[in-house]
Every structure is written in structure tokens, then in C-alpha cells.
Amino acid sequence: MATVDAAPRRAAVLGDLLPGALARDTALVAGAALMVGLAAQVSVPLPGTPVPVSGQTFAVLLAGAALGWHRSALAMVLYLLAGMAGVPWFAEGASGTAMPTLGYVIGFVAAAALVGRLAGRGGDRTPLRTVATMTLGTTVIYLAGVPYLMASLGVDLGRALELGVTPFLIGDALKVALAAGLLPAAWKLAGRTR
């Protein structure tokens, strides 16, 4: 009886293009957590809100798309746990449960997983799909961050939206647009080099 060689598995996300599964995955998880921590250092306080403008959300969304849902969720859990343990890499150098922005960081785990799942199904292959994927990921971050902000500051939903969403909508739209240019281009480049 003849055996048929299994066809090579198609890369679901950009991280799958790298060889060496266990070493690769460990390096990607640690690297993504570090990337988000470094992106958090690009932090600009806004007057009147405890939520700064930072590079974190962009790094989280890119990690989700590049690594897939398993690796990116693990990376965000690592980022969260290391920050809670005292690594000074949350935006504004904050750590612990007293910071009002912790809900957004918790939302990073779910957002990275969702973006990773959608990217694994082609959600980052075209600009339009990338916009939809990144917008959903950003929405998940807000859905986790706003209730925590409400509870930690003792404000109502309207005030929490003023503090934790409205000032960031234009910047988040720019991040989504940038991702819509970068990710499909990365896939095109990867297709040319394979």
C-alpha cells in the first residue's frame, strides 16, 4: 500500500513561518510580552484622564495578528503577570491592582486572542479584513477597560467613556489604519520569500 506524503501545513499567522516549534513559540511569547512592555514606555499623559496615550494597544493587536491566539494570549498573560509582580512596564510605570487602567491590560489577553483567532482565519490578509479585525480587538480592550475604570474611579458609564474612550478614538483609528497597511504587506513580502 502506497503512502501519501502529507502536504505542508499552510501558515495561519506570520509567526508560523518561523522554524522550530517549541523554541520559536517560547521566544515569540516572551518577545511579544517584551514588545508590549517597551511600547508601554511610549506613554503620553493626557490632561484630565488617568489613561495615557501609549503604544501598548498597537503592540497587542500586532502580536495577536502575528502570533495567533494561543501564543498571543500567553504573551499577554505573561505581560500582565510580570507587571503585577513589579516589572515597571505598564504605561506610566504603574503596577498592581490600584491602577485604574488595569482593566485595559486585562483586556489585552482577550483582544490578542480574538485578533489572533481572526488572523488565523485570514483576518489580516487584506486591508479591509485587517481593519475589521483590529477594530474588534480594540473594542474588546475598551469593553474590559471601561468597567474597571468605572469601578476604580467610582464614576458612571458616561464619565468613564469621556475619560477612557473618547480621547483615544482618533489615535486608535490611526493604529488600525497603520495595521491595515503593515499586515497585508508583511504577508505579501512573506509570500515572495517562501
Phi, psi (rounded to 5 degrees) for 165? -130, -60
Tell me which DSSP letter residue 28 carries: H
Q: Which of 68, 49, 25 is nearest to 168 (CA)?
A: 49
Report the pLDDT value the prediction gives residue 124, as an integer from 0 to 100: 92
DSSP string for residues in 123-192: TTSSHHHHHHHHHHHHHHHHHHHHHHHHHHHT--HHHHHHHHTGGGHHHHHHHHHHHHHHHHHHHHHHHH
Is residue 138 domain-resident?
A: yes
Is residue 59 domain-resident?
A: yes
Report how many domains make up the chain.
Answer: 1
Report the pLDDT value the prediction gives residue 88, as an integer from 0 to 100: 84
Is residue 12 domain-resident?
A: no
Residues with Cβ < 8 Å from 163, sequence gap 6 or more? Answer: 48, 49, 50, 51, 149, 153, 155
Q: How far is CA 70 from CA 117, 124, 158, 194, in A?
A: 8, 16, 34, 24
Q: How far is CA 152 from CA 97, 156, 188, in A?
A: 9, 11, 44
pTM of the model: 0.84
Residue 160 CA to its chain's centroid (Å): 22
Is residue 187 domain-resident?
A: yes
Contact 76, 36 (CB under 8 A): yes
Is residue 9 domain-resident?
A: no
Is residue 6 domain-resident?
A: no
Q: Which of 108, 106, 136 is nearest to 121 (CA)?
A: 136
At 6 the three-state DSSP class reads coil
* CATH code of the domain in which 188 resides: 1.10.1760.20
Is residue 4 domain-resident?
A: no
Domain residues for 159?
A: 20-40+50-193
Is residue 170 domain-resident?
A: yes
CA 60/CA 58 separation, integer angstroms: 5
Report the pLDDT value the prediction gives residue 191, as an integer from 0 to 100: 77
pLDDT string in tens for the chain (194-residue length)? 444 444 445 666 766 666 667 788 889 999 999 999 999 998 898 898 999 999 999 999 999 999 999 999 999 999 999 998 988 887 654 555 558 899 999 999 999 999 999 999 999 999 999 999 999 999 999 999 999 999 999 999 999 999 999 999 999 999 999 999 999 998 888 776 44
